Amino acid sequence: MQQRTIKKPVEVVGIGLHKGEPIKLRLEPLDADAGIVFYREDLALNIPLSPDSVIDTRMATVIGDKAKGFISTIEHFLSAVYAYGIDNLRVIVDGNEMPIMDGSAISFCLLLEEAGIEELDAPKKIIRIKEPVEIRDGEKFVRLLPSDTATFDFRIKFDHPVIGEQSERFEFGTQHFVEEIARARTFGFARDIQYLQSQNLALGATLQNAIGLDDHKVLNPEGLRFENEFAKHKVLDAMGDMMVTGHNLLGRYESFAGSHHLNYQLTSKLLSDSKNYELVAVEALQSREFARAFA
């Protein structure tokens, strides 16, 4: 299996979740071994994708520099990049956040399909988990375990009648992602949105780009897309946060009540010690199913 980029540049305009302003997103192909590079067009600022670039994880995954410039809410887009196995890509925005689109990853999947996938003359390398790595915060945890398959297993528990306890176990595959995970939307509680907007945050949040909840019910007239859409979206987030490493992973991700911050700590801990992982060409894997998952 070879490294991947896109065949042609594509662009789209969407609303930023926090500022509520139009954001132009443009994707351009890059050569082999260039990696995923974000670019703030308005600041002429390159931001390479790496856990070292992460500067905030409170409400979303944010990369960059608070003084020079940053890009927020990259995780939904990166989950689509992960799903399509993109290794090299230039991601250009003209503001400090990614467009939120409909609050899921499906628009980004469609954008990548419009661009087309180009294979490059270099072997695709992935991160194979060699040793268990775990981050805990009380009963909350995220961890990566060695495995011959790539899976994401997420459990959540909310004191809310619509959510309650939910789980999603996702065995990685591009088409499986498009069908079962990509359309799961982010969610928020009306009381929190009102407070955030009073602080000039979440100004772009609407029922067109998120699941809204009051204390008792879903506020979206169309209801949910999946019975366990909340857990599915957490898998989507986790995939995007793992893509901050710049590579697909071969291993088992497990979480209970994980967050962007715990995921950031997990990727940082993973890459801090070479005994935890190895960067290996897909052809060298004994698991041929892994390569077929990108078909």
Interacting residues of 243 by C-beta distance below 8 A, sequence separation 6+: 36, 49, 78, 79, 81, 82
User: pLDDT grade, residue 197 (50/70/90)?
Assistant: confident
- Rounded Cα distance between 17 and 23, Å, is 10
Cα of first residue to Cα of last residue in the chain, in angstroms, is 11
Give the model confidence (pLDDT) of 89-135 as tens digits: 999 999 999 999 999 999 999 999 999 999 999 999 999 999 999 99
Give 215-251 pLDDT, tens digit per residue: 999 999 999 999 999 999 999 999 999 999 999 999 9
Give the residue-averaged pLDDT of 25-44.
Answer: 98
Q: What is the mean pLDDT of the chain?
A: 96
CA angle 92, 170, 221 (to 5 degrees): 70
Q: Which two tokens stand for residue 11?
A: 């662009």
Q: Say whether pLDDT at 191 is over 90.
A: no
Q: Which of the four pLDDT bands, split at 50, 70 and 90, describes residue 287?
A: low
Query: What does the alpha-carbon distance between residue 90 and residue 92 come to, in Å, rounded to a whole number?
Result: 6
* Per-residue confidence band for 59, with pLDDT thresholds at 50, 70 and 90: confident
With a pLDDT cut of 70, the percent of the chain lying above it is 99
The answer, yes or no, to whether residue 286 has pLDDT greater than 80, is no
d(CA 23, CA 46): 17
Strand pairing class (211-213; 187-189): parallel
CA–CA separation, 119 and 15 (whole Å): 31
pLDDT value, residue 199: 78
Query: Cα–Cα distance between 166 and 147 in angstroms, integer?
Result: 24
Q: Which residue has the higher pLDDT, 107 or 197?
A: 107
Give pLDDT, residue 144.
98
What pTM was estimated for this model as a whole?
A: 0.96
The secondary element (H helix, E strand) that includes residue 252 is: strand 252-256
Q: Which amino acid is at 169?
A: R
Catalytic (active-site) positions: 260
Domains defined for the chain, CATH in brackets: 2-292 (3.30.1700.10)
